[in-house]
Amino acid sequence: MRIDEPLDDEELQSLGLPPQYSPTYMALSNMLDLAYFSRVWIIQEIAVAKSYRILWGEITIPGHILYRSTPGWLLAHSALKVA
């Protein structure tokens, strides 16, 4: 897998992510694309918290789920944007 090539659905799944064009992936992508999640103080708050939850509308995302999916999303998202 090269960082400058788009990831296929099998590679996304290996990173713990849903298929690229699924509603779940698109929702995660849209949420993490918000400027809010690039603010240093938000990243710091999450980094030092013992536990956390993201409240998104009526959905609650436990911190450990976001933590496990974010590295894969970052890798996939950066590769998808380059392509």
At 13-53, the pLDDT tens digits run: 887 777 888 888 788 778 878 888 778 888 788 778 888 88
pLDDT at 82 over 50: no
Residue 83's pLDDT is what?
44
Residue 69's pLDDT is what?
62
Q: What is the DSSP letter of 5?
A: S
CB atoms within 10 A of CB 6: 14
Residue 44's pLDDT is what?
83
* CA atoms within a 13 Å half-sphere pointing along the CA-CB vector of 22: 11
pTM, whole model, 2 decimals?
A: 0.55
Average pLDDT in the chain: 74
Cβ–Cβ under 8 Å, residues 54 and 61: yes
